[in-house]
Amino acid sequence: MRAEVKVGKEQQEHPLIFQRLLWEESIWAIKESIRFTHFQNFRSHIKQNLPQNSQYVRKRYTSSILYWFFPDRSLDTLPALVWKAYHDDCILKDIMRYLYLDREKIVANFVLEYILPLTPGAVVDAPYFEDYLRKEYGVVKKDPKNFLRCAIRDLGFIEKNTRQNAIVQALSLPKTAILILIHYLFAQRPQTVSVKNILAHNFWKLLGIRKIEDVKKILREADAKGLISKYIIADQLEQITTKFTLKEFLDRKMKL
């Protein structure tokens, strides 16, 4: 199971409505974090070195970045450990996509209910975003609509077409990220995990995977390459057994 997360000041002060996703700033902050040994020094560094001129804005943006990606006020957060292990932007962004959506439920629900059911290549326009926000808040305001649209774009789910329209994208299968998150969420130590339990969790959908069969394909490939101990399908039994701890998986830079 995932380690218990402490509630820090950033979480307590974070407003209920979602904030603009600071995608590039967050990537920069995560990469910077591996240079530090003390969290307070890291937080001060982020607050002082974000590119915004206003000290108030830098403080607010720092709070958001920590809320999304450093919720336990520790430098040993999953995206930092992933960056330290792999130095791979694609894997890092896959992990960040899930962690951000896990924190921002309003955005996550839009992905699950409004984006993933669409076929890649479908066109979405402004009223599509407005319909969801009206359902959630009873009113559509300019900032939340722009924040939602930009977040979905930065996360890779859509690509801008015109000022009013966007095209739904098919994300590349996040093979390594899904294995990392299986270890993180279900098996931080080697153990047997029901595939049913894996599929019942929405993490793989938030990574951008649309089909259950794609998840199973990744598990079969991981089994064939020795990244897990076994993947068993027998009668109504379908389960995997992991081989490494989460730490070992990252330390060994296991990759699919």
Extents of the domains making up the chain: 9-90, 104-168, 175-251
pLDDT attached to residue 215: 97
Burial of 190 (0-12, 13-18, 19+ CB in 10 A): middle
Are 107 and 193 in contact, with CB atoms under 8 Å apart? no
pLDDT attached to residue 163: 65
Alpha helices in the chain (DSSP H): 9-13, 23-33, 39-49, 55-69, 78-86, 89-103, 105-110, 126-137, 142-154, 175-185, 195-200, 203-206, 212-224, 246-251
pLDDT attached to residue 115: 95
Architecture of domain 104-168: Orthogonal Bundle (1.10)
Burial of 214 (0-12, 13-18, 19+ CB in 10 A): middle
The region that residue 248 occupies, defined by phi over 0 for left and psi between -120 and 50 for alpha, beta otherwise, is alpha
Residue 194 backbone dihedrals phi, psi, to 5 degrees:
-70, 130
**Average pLDDT value for the chain:** 90
Region 181-193: mean pLDDT is 96
User: What is the rounded CA–CA span in Å between residue 66 and residue 71?
Assistant: 6
Confidence of residue 180 (pLDDT cuts 50, 70, 90): very high
Give how far Cα 1 sits from Cα of 123, 185, 193, 245, Å. Answer: 39, 6, 11, 12
